[in-house]
Amino acid sequence: MRRTLRGVVRDTAYLLCMLFTSLTSVLLLFLLAVAVGSTVVAGMGLVLAPLAVQVVRRWTDVHRALAGWVLGEQVPRRYRPLRGGIGSWMRQVVADRMTWRDLGWLAANAVVGLVAGAIGLFFAGTPPVTLFTMFFWWLAPVDDPLHMLMGTPVTSWSAALATGLGTLAVSVPSGVLVVPRAARLHAAMTRALIGRSTADELERRVEALTEARTGVIDAHGAELRRIERDLHDGTQARLVSIAMRLGMAKQALGDDPEVAARLIDDARIGAESAMGELRSILRTMYPPVLTDRGLGGAIHALAAQSGVPVQVDVEDLGLVSAPAEAATYFTIAEALTNAAKHSGASVARVTVHRTGDWLSTTVEDDGCGGVDETRGSGVVGIRRRIEALEGAVHIDSPHGGPTTIKVELPCGS
């Protein structure tokens, strides 16, 4: 009983809110129209439009919360994260289907909210008005009596009590019946229009996965092409020339041993170069020390051969996926090389720790700073590798130092 009562009060409050917000929705639609119009007419919209988008999003958020309150479940918000400058920002807002659903909801709420609010107002207003009329009908002048609902004039205590009680007997139970239904109906509309359905959720995940996969495949493809080219132009060509020299050496063996010896020597030098090249190609694919010692051991190996003294702070990282391991290794190697070559740092510090499925790596040095990403430094390589794995790179390197390079990577295997 109490719960029903509380529910009715809550739903009544909801409907009364809707009465107010439906009117505001009309205003918001107007504001939006102005914003869009002014974008077309003048630059004004560049200021107004983002503001309007923010306001609309906040506004629909309030309604998601209210609808969730009535429905007893969360109505989640779902906007794609906005990135980039104002141009791409606006494009993303326009491309986001949720923007259009927000607008549709604003229009629908202008009408449906008004009706729902009227219902709320009627059932919320009837009992107090009736009670007032019942007891204070005599305050009205005789020639202009108060009216109960249905227009019955009240001129005596008996009429007041009879029609008053009658009205209450009809309006209160029907209110208890109608108000929650109206509120739920409205909330359900809100959920349907601006909430998230299972299909939406699946669509979003498919989109995100497709995007991530495309990125990975692109990066992977580019890496494979690089390796193919290195092997083809370098190692393979060297092997051909070695075989050729050995063949020639065999021919020369009988009549000119000196030439044969020189050819064999050339072949050996070629083989040495080929081995060196292969080693460096393998190193760029997956540094062998990672296989041997894991990420922690590999970082200590990097620190040992660094040109600056390095403090290493690596906790037990558990199982880290191979691409994340390699990317972390290269990031640290690149950052330490930069520190040793350009920064004049006297000490560097490498910190790696894991939070859930995220690996966070920080390389700091006390050098002169001024790492410039636009000037093709190793930082570009770091960014390319990390972003291919859906990670994030933060670089803080003011002129005069110090430099901090922080990388966050998903590392689930």
Partner 1 sequence: MRVVIVEDNVLLAEGLALMLERAQLEVAAVAADAEGFHAAVAEHRPDVTIVDVRLPPSYRDEGIRAAIAARGAYPGLPVLVLSQYVELVYAVELLSGEGGGIGYLLKDRVSRVEEFIEALRRVAAGGTALDAEVVAQLLTRRRGHPLAALSPRERDVLALMAEGHDNSTICEKLHIVHSSVHKHIGNIFAKLGLAPGDTGHRRVQAVLAYLQTRH
In the complex, what is the shortest distance from the CB of residue 287 to partner 1, in angstroms, rounded to a whole number?
A: 8
* Cβ–Cβ under 8 Å, residues 324 and 409: yes
Looking at beta carbons only, is 193 or 320 nearer to partner 1?
Answer: 320
Looking at beta carbons only, is 116 or 263 nearer to partner 1?
Answer: 263
* Contact letters for partner 1, residues 292-331 (x by CB under 8 A): xx---x--xx--xxxxxx----------------------
Region of 118-126, 185-193, 288-296, 388-396 interacting with partner 1 (CB under 8 A): 288-296
In the complex, what is the shortest distance from the CB of residue 238 to partner 1, in angstroms, rounded to a whole number?
A: 13
Looking at beta carbons only, is 293 or 406 nearer to partner 1?
Answer: 293
Residues 31 to 50: which contact partner 1 by CB under 8 A?
Answer: none
Structure tokens at 133: 């009329």
Residue 190: CA count within 13 A, CB half-sphere: 33
Secondary-structure percent of the chain, ordered helix, strand, coil, rounded to 5: 75, 10, 20
Q: Pick the binder of partner 1 from 37, 125, 288, 412 (CB under 8 A).
A: 288
In order of 5, 76, 108, 183, 248, the CA distances from 187 in angstroms are 19, 13, 12, 6, 87
In the complex, what is the shortest distance from the CB of residue 277 to partner 1, in angstroms, rounded to a whole number?
A: 11
In order of 44, 97, 100, the CA distances from 92 in angstroms are 19, 10, 12
- Helix count (H) and strand count (E) of the chain? 11, 5
Q: What are phi and psi of 190, to 5 degrees?
A: -60, -45
Looking at beta carbons only, is 65 or 347 nearer to partner 1?
Answer: 347
In the complex, what is the shortest distance from the CB of residue 364 to partner 1, in angstroms, rounded to a whole number?
A: 16
Looking at beta carbons only, is 32 or 264 nearer to partner 1?
Answer: 264
Residues 330 to 369: which contact partner 1 by CB under 8 A?
Answer: 340, 344-345
Looking at beta carbons only, is 232 or 268 nearer to partner 1?
Answer: 268
* Contact letters for partner 1, residues 244-283 (x by CB under 8 A): ------------------------x--xx--xx--x--xx
Residue-wise burial string across 181-208, b where 16 or more C-beta atoms lie within 10 A, e elsewhere: ebbbebbebbbebbbbeeeeeeeeeeee
In sequence order, the 6+-apart residues with CB closer than 8 A to the CB of 340 are 306, 307, 308
Query: Containing H/E element for 58?
Result: helix 44-71
Region of 216-224, 242-250, 286-294, 399-407 interacting with partner 1 (CB under 8 A): 286-294
Dmax (CA) of the chain: 143
Looking at beta carbons only, is 15 or 299 nearer to partner 1?
Answer: 299
In the complex, what is the shortest distance from the CB of residue 214 to partner 1, in angstroms, rounded to a whole number?
A: 34
In the complex, what is the shortest distance from the CB of residue 391 to partner 1, in angstroms, rounded to a whole number?
A: 26
In the complex, what is the shortest distance from the CB of residue 290 to partner 1, in angstroms, rounded to a whole number?
A: 10
Structure tokens at 205: 């995940």
In the complex, what is the shortest distance from the CB of residue 253 to partner 1, in angstroms, rounded to a whole number?
A: 18
C-alpha closest to that of 79 among 53, 104, 105:
53
Beta strand extents in 211-261 (DSSP E only): none
User: Applying CB under 8 A, which residues contact partner 1?
Assistant: 268, 271-272, 275-276, 279, 282-283, 288-289, 291-293, 297, 300-301, 304-309, 340, 344-345
